[in-house]
């Protein structure tokens, strides 16, 4: 996303302050006071900027809050406490890491159980194996609220009392269509206590139109079959099939499916539980979205002590992310006729049989038949050996998932290779085949002086890129320094570089449009002059994605020079208009449920490195020149999305983004006024669309002062909406 501090270098020098020493007396209190003031002002500013219209009174509120926030940032107290605040942040991260490890130990059954598990890893994989898993735990929790925070959120927004139960029963009676939902459960040597809890969670459903179809896969523990028979005898809605031979999960699931008579099928594991309103929410979604044939919900995990932790608030339908991880697990609900049309579960994909099923159903029904229910409707129990405890618990499931994705892509005629993602957390990577011959890519770079940055950018493209067919179009916005002009002369000697001149007042959108109009490539790559290539195959990765039918703008993974994430995609609504996903995430962390290391659909990507087919760029009329500095890329990407294309961010095209890490906030009164005008432009053009990003979730925050994917102070959706 282009902001005043992200725009191409203008040649101005920046001064860095010398070291500052400050006494420690009262420092902690002063830091807390300053941070609280900044956070409060940021929240108020974001709210005012988001909701204010052009009236003079509301405009003055924005200006006053902006001035107050700027005053705090400019104050001597804020500057001199910078080293102390950095130290406090280190301590906070350490405390968070200790809490994360402690929570993980509790979830794994306590210290003794965890030590046994660690010993088994050491014998099999050595110290490196232990280190990898510890890093995964810490990285996973980087963007995860603590169990205490989530518990308070549950109490406030996800608790059902008797009054709500009465209201829900009334709502059930008022549904125009009350379909029978068949819950399919395979069992094998189940823990009796957990099995009973699973069944009782179904019997407790407020929505009464269900049947529970259980197929026992020839359990060798007699108590399992005894318990199943007992439940079936007490509730006619419970159907039990006792298989005479063990066929594993796919065959057992098909046996349960065979006795399903419902219009829809919901998949439930034998040791997990459903909240009491789960099936009502499914039935409500069926009524409200009659063209949908597949549904999936958000989920959380259940510790051995019964505590709900680790909520996964998912995006709306996200085809690219779905290939890396199974969004339908959990809760996944399918039209029964659709499951039977595709032949049910397939043997040979055990561990990922539901992922394989979902892909085959989507091939038949189409992407528009998928609907996401943004509520926690499934509690996934953490037990030893379950992937709820760790994605590495069942390596065979990942192998099956890779084969399932390979088969899916072959069936739909997409050439690609599929493998385990390098993140080593059970994710899948798809490498799409490059078009042949390699199409011409026009790399467009606006610049003004700042020759060292520009040279680093251009030379890294030539020295490190392996893509065989590109041109570079540099648009010079009034450079005057002799060394810059000399470098332009040297570049003109290269056959695939052109330097254009445009001396108008800086307008990022106009500069790019001029250069694109004079480019010759089938694909256009907008690139800041402060970018440095890391991944040699960055263009191959981006072009192969842009070449896929239906894809629009492709964004890259941009790192600050200190190896923290600068751009992991753009999220609408954060801070009022938009913000970068996983900003400042350290390299090696995988973010919110792997989304920092997964190719995925997003609403927008930054124009600091954006690749798109030239035909689409022209179709949406390029960047809007009314947005000279900020949000032009966000506006562009929303228009691309509204034209029917899917924007994609990939972690596999990595580049450094230099200048934005060092320039900091540089908002003169004139720039601040322009920035506010561009915010108002975006609000007027896009309205509530800015607060309903389909790649995000209404239960997660838009507060820029919090980390991405933090729980919202107040969800933007009602408990039963």
Structure confidence by residue, pLDDT tens digits, 91-111? 444 444 455 555 555 545 556
pLDDT tens digits along 55-84: 333 444 444 554 554 555 455 554 455 555
Helix (H, G, I), strand (E, B) or coil at 442: strand
Say whether 441-690 and 171-430 share the same fold: yes
Q: Is the pLDDT of residue 141 over 70?
A: no
The model's pTM is 0.83
Tokens in use for 711? Answer: 């729980």
Measured CA to CA in angstroms, residue 233 lies from 183, 194, 226, 289, 626 at distances of 18, 19, 11, 36, 70
Instruction: For residue 341, count other CB atoms closer than 10 A to its CB.
Output: 13
**Which is more confident, 700 or 57?**
700
Strands (DSSP E) found in 482-628: 497-501, 523-527, 531-533, 551-559, 565-567, 570-572, 578-580, 600-601, 609-613
- Highest CATH level, class, for 171-430: alpha beta
Chain-centroid distance of CA 525 in Å reads: 23
CATH number among 2.170.120.12, 3.40.50.920, 3.30.70.100, 3.90.550.10, domain 441-690:
3.90.550.10
Cα–Cα distance between 257 and 357 in angstroms, integer?
13
Segment 667-685 shows an average pLDDT of 90
Segment 22-40 shows an average pLDDT of 49
Question: Which of the four pLDDT bands, split at 50, 70 and 90, describes residue 280?
Answer: very high
Lowest pLDDT segment from 22-31, 359-368, 419-428: 22-31
pLDDT tens digits along 513-544: 999 999 999 999 999 999 999 999 999 999 99
Contacts for 152 with CB less than 8 Å, ≥ 6 apart: none
Q: Is the pLDDT of residue 453 over 90?
A: yes
Pairing label, strands 470-476, 497-501: parallel
Lowest pLDDT segment from 113-117, 119-123, 424-428: 113-117
Contact 597, 559 (CB under 8 A): no
**Nearest alpha carbon to residue 8 among 441, 616, 442, 444:** 444
Backbone φ, ψ for residue 292 (5° rounding): -75, 145
Which sequence spans correspond to the domains of the chain?
Answer: 171-430, 441-690
Backbone φ, ψ for residue 532 (5° rounding): -130, 130
Chain-centroid distance of CA 164 in Å reads: 32
Helix (H, G, I), strand (E, B) or coil at 255: helix
> How much is the pLDDT for 668?
78
Contacts for 680 with CB less than 8 Å, ≥ 6 apart: 52, 53, 54
**Nearest alpha carbon to residue 380 among 274, 267, 295, 276:** 274
> How much is the pLDDT for 192?
98
Backbone φ, ψ for residue 668 (5° rounding): -70, 165
Lowest pLDDT segment from 74-78, 263-267, 674-678, 712-716: 74-78
> How much is the pLDDT for 22?
35
Question: Which of the four pLDDT bands, split at 50, 70 and 90, describes residue 33?
Answer: low
Q: Is the pLDDT of residue 8 over 50?
A: no
Contacts for 451 with CB less than 8 Å, ≥ 6 apart: 479, 481, 483, 484, 487
Segment 147-168 shows an average pLDDT of 97
**Nearest alpha carbon to residue 264 among 366, 318, 340, 186:** 340
Cα–Cα distance between 241 and 250 in angstroms, integer?
14
């Amino acid at each position: 996303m282009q902001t005043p501090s992200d725009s191409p270098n203008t040649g101005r020098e920046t001064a860095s302050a010398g070291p500052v020493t400050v006494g420690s007396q009262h420092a902690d209190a002063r830091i807390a006071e300053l941070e609280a003031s900044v956070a409060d002002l940021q929240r108020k500013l974001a709210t005012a900027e988001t909701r204010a219209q052009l009236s003079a009174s509301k405009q003055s509120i924005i200006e006053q809050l902006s001035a107050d926030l700027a005053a705090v940032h400019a104050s001597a107290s804020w500057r001199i406490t910078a080293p102390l605040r950095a130290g406090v942040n280190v301590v906070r991260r350490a405390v968070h890491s200790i809490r994360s490890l402690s929570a993980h130990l509790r979830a794994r059954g306590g210290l003794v159980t965890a030590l046994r598990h660690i010993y088994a890893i050491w014998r099999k994989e050595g110290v490196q194996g232990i280190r990898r898993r510890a890093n995964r735990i810490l990285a996973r929790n980087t963007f995860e609220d603590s169990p205490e925070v989530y518990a308070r959120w549950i109490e406030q927004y996800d608790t059902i009392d008797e009054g709500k139960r009465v209201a829900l029963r009334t709502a059930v009676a008022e549904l125009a269509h009350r379909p029978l939902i068949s819950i399919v459960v395979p069992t094998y040597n189940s823990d009796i206590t957990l099995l009973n809890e699973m069944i009782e969670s179904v019997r407790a459903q407020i929505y009464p139109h269900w049947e529970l179809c259980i197929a026992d896969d020839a359990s060798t523990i007699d108590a399992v079959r005894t318990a199943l028979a007992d439940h079936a005898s007490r509730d006619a809605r419970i159907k039990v099939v006792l298989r005479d031979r063990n066929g594993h999960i796919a065959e057992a699931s098909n046996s349960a499916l065979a006795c399903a008579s419902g219009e829809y099928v919901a998949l439930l594991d034998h040791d997990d539980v459903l909240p009491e309103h789960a099936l009502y929410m499914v039935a409500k979604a069926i009524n409200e979205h009659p063209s949908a044939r597949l549904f999936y919900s958000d989920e959380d995990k259940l510790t051995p002590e019964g505590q709900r932790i680790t909520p996964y608030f998912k995006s709306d339908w996200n085809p690219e992310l779905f290939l890396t991880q199974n969004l339908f697990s959990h809760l996944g609900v399918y039209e029964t006729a659709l499951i039977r049309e595709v032949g049910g579960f397939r043997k040979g994909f055990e561990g990922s049989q539901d992922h394989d099923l979902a892909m085959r159903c989507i091939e038949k029904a189409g992407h528009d038949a998928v609907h996401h229910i943004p509520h926690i409707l499934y509690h996934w129990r953490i037990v030893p050996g379950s992937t709820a405890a760790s994605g590495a618990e069942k390596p065979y499931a990942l192998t099956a998932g890779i084969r399932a994705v390979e088969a899916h892509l072959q069936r739909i005629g997409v050439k690609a290779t599929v493998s385990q993602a390098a993140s080593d957390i059970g994710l899948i990577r798809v490498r799409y085949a490059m078009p042949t011959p390699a199409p011409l890519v026009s790399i467009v770079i606006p610049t003004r002086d700042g020759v060292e940055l520009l040279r680093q950018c251009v030379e890294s493209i030539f020295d490190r890129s392996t893509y065989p067919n590109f041109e570079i179009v540099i648009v010079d916005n009034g450079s005057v320094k002799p060394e810059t002009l000399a470098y332009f002369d040297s570049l003109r000697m290269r056959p695939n570089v052109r330097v254009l001149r445009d001396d108008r007042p800086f307008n990022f959108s106009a500069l790019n449009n001029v250069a694109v109009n004079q480019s010759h490539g089938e694909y256009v790559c907008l690139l800041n002059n402060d970018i440095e290539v890391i991944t040699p195959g960055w263009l191959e990765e981006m072009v192969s994605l842009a070449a896929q039918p239906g894809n629009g703008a492709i964004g890259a993974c941009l790192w600050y020079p200190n190896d923290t994430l600068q751009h992991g995609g753009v999220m609408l609504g954060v801070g009022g208009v938009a913000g970068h996903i996983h900003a400042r995430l350290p390299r090696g962390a995988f973010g919110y449920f792997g989304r920092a290391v997964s190719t995925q659909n997003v609403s927008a990507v930054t124009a600091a490195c954006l690749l798109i087919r030239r035909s689409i760029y022209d179709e949406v009329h390029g960047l809007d020149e009314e947005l000279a500095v900020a949000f032009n890329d966000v506006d562009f990407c929303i228009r691309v999305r509204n034209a029917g294309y899917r924007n994609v961010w990939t972690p596999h095209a990595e580049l450094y983004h230099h200048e934005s890490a060092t320039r900091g906030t540089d908002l003169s009164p004139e720039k601040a006024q322009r920035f506010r005008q561009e915010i108002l432009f975006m609000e007027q053009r896009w309205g509530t669309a800015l607060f309903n990003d389909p790649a995000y979730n209404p239960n997660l925050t838009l507060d820029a002062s919090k980390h991405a994917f933090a729980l919202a102070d107040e969800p933007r959706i009602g408990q039963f909406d």
